[in-house]
């Protein structure tokens, strides 16, 4: 049976930005207007299939209150990815992102962080310009931005999938399995091919890797009169 990917995902961001609403929409497809502050941290499990991979998400939804920040620092250890939320209608909720990122990366260096702008349903009240995101990306290690509405559901599951795809690309075990698969594919066609056919197939495989994997690679080939062999190396 294929090994399951278990990923710890955590939420971060100021109070009231909509962290719990996002998780509730994702888990139950429901929304409530009532504000209920998260005290400490809530924990959820959810199976999610993506790109043919079975994943189990351990979702840790943190309270954004100042007094809970100390919790995040220790709980982030072992996390695979983070959702860092701010409120599109309250630009001041971006002011503290450096502090959130510092806490996250201290406990989990290289953690992929997806920035999420919430409450995109609030039309005229939105005070966020896309140029702001480019400045944020220049200053901080954040790989992408998604704008969501937990009220309407717009982009909610898409945002989770953006993070999951990033995690899968980074996940070393996953890469290793894919590398073995690819080596097997290469070996099997090399053993049954003429050299001309081999060149065409290699192009296809390299393109496939470029599109699907976040890795640098090189193809090492050698030949004798009868057999060509190749292998992929992660640099
Ligand atoms: N209009 C609108 N309101 C939202 C949306 N998401 C959340 N809210 C509202 O914003 C308020 C705060 O949402 P929460 O999800 O509790 O915020 P939180 O970030 O979990 O807050 P803490 O647990 O205190 O850190 C609630 O009243 C929600 O109904 C949204 O997409 N659109
Ligand atoms: Mg909450």
Structure tokens at 135: 């400045």
Q: Write the pLDDT tens digit of every residue in 127-138.
A: 999 999 999 998
pLDDT (0 to 100) of residue 110: 86
- If you write DSSP's letter for every residue of 123-176 in order, what string do you get? GGG----HHHHHHHHHHS---EEEE--TTT-TTHHHHHHHHHHHHHHH-HHHHH
Closest CA to 115 of 40, 12, 7: 12
Buried b (16+ CB within 10 A) or exposed e, 87-126: bbbbeebbebbeebbebbbebbeebbbbbbbbbbbeeeeb
Question: Which protein residue has the closest C-alpha to ligand 1 atom 21?
Answer: 16
Q: Please tell me what DSSP assigns to residue 210.
A: H
Q: Which residue has the higher pLDDT, 139 or 200?
A: 139
CB of 63 sitting under 6 A from ligand 1: yes
Question: Mean of the pLDDT values across residues 36-62?
Answer: 93
Q: Which ligand is nearest to the CA of 17?
A: 1
Q: Write the pLDDT tens digit of every residue in 181-231.
A: 766 666 665 555 555 455 555 666 666 666 665 555 555 555 543 334 444
> Contact, 207 vs 194, CB < 8 A?
no
- Please report the domains of the chain, with CATH numbers, ordered by start residue: 5-170 (3.40.50.300), 193-234 (no CATH)
Question: Mean of the pLDDT values across residues 9-31?
Answer: 97
Model confidence band, residue 29 (pLDDT cutoffs 50, 70, 90): very high
Q: What is the CA radius of gyration of the chain?
A: 21
> Contact, 84 vs 22, CB < 8 A?
no
> Contact, 59 vs 97, CB < 8 A?
no
pLDDT at residue 26 is higher than 90: yes
Closest CA to 121 of 148, 159, 101: 148
pLDDT (0 to 100) of residue 209: 63
Closest CA to 161 of 174, 144, 177, 175: 144
Q: Which residue has the higher pLDDT, 172 or 23?
A: 23
pTM of the model: 0.80
Report the 10 Å Cβ neighbour count for 35.
Answer: 10
89 to 40, 94, 113, 123: CA distances (angstroms): 25, 11, 21, 9
pLDDT at residue 30 is higher than 80: yes
Residue 13 CA, ligand 2 centroid: distance in Å: 10
CB of 28 sitting under 6 A from ligand 1: no
Q: Write the pLDDT tens digit of every residue in 149-169.
A: 999 999 999 999 999 999 988
- If you write DSSP's letter for every residue of 47-91 in order, what string do you get? EEEETTEEEEEEEEEE--SGGGHHHHHHHTTT-SEEEEEEETT-G
Question: Mean of the pLDDT values across residues 45-74?
Answer: 92
CB of 19 sitting under 6 A from ligand 1: yes
pLDDT (0 to 100) of residue 188: 61
Residue 204 CA, ligand 2 centroid: distance in Å: 46
Residue 228 CA, ligand 1 centroid: distance in Å: 59
Residue 68 CA, ligand 2 centroid: distance in Å: 11
């Amino acid at each position: 049976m294929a090994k399951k990917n278990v990923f710890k995902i955590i939420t971060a961001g100021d109070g009231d930005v909509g962290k719990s609403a996002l998780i509730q929409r994702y888990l139950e497809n429901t929304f409530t207007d009532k504000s209920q502050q998260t005290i400490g941290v809530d924990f959820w499990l959810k199976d999610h299939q993506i790109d043919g991979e079975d994943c189990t998400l351990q979702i840790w939804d943190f309270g954004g209150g100042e007094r809970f920040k100390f919790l995040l620092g220790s709980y982030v250890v072992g996390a695979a990815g983070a959702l860092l939320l701010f409120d599109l209608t309250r630009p001041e909720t971006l002011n503290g992102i450096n502090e959130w990122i510092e806490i996250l990366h201290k406990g989990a260096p290289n953690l992929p962080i997806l920035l999420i702008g919430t409450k995109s349903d609030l039309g005229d009240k939105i005070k966020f310009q896309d140029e702001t995101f480019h400045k944020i990306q220049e200053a901080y290690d954040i790989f992408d931005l998604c704008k969501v509405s937990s009220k309407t559901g717009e982009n909610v599951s898409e945002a989770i999938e953006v993070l999951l795809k990033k995690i899968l690309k980074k996940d070393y075990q996953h890469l290793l399995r894919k590398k073995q698969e690819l080596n097997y594919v290469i070996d099997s066609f090399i053993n049954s091919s003429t050299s001309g056919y081999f060149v065409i197939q290699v192009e296809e495989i390299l393109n496939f890797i470029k599109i699907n994997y976040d890795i640098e690679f090189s193809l090492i080939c050698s030949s004798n009169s009868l057999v060509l062999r190749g292998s992929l190396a992660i640099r």
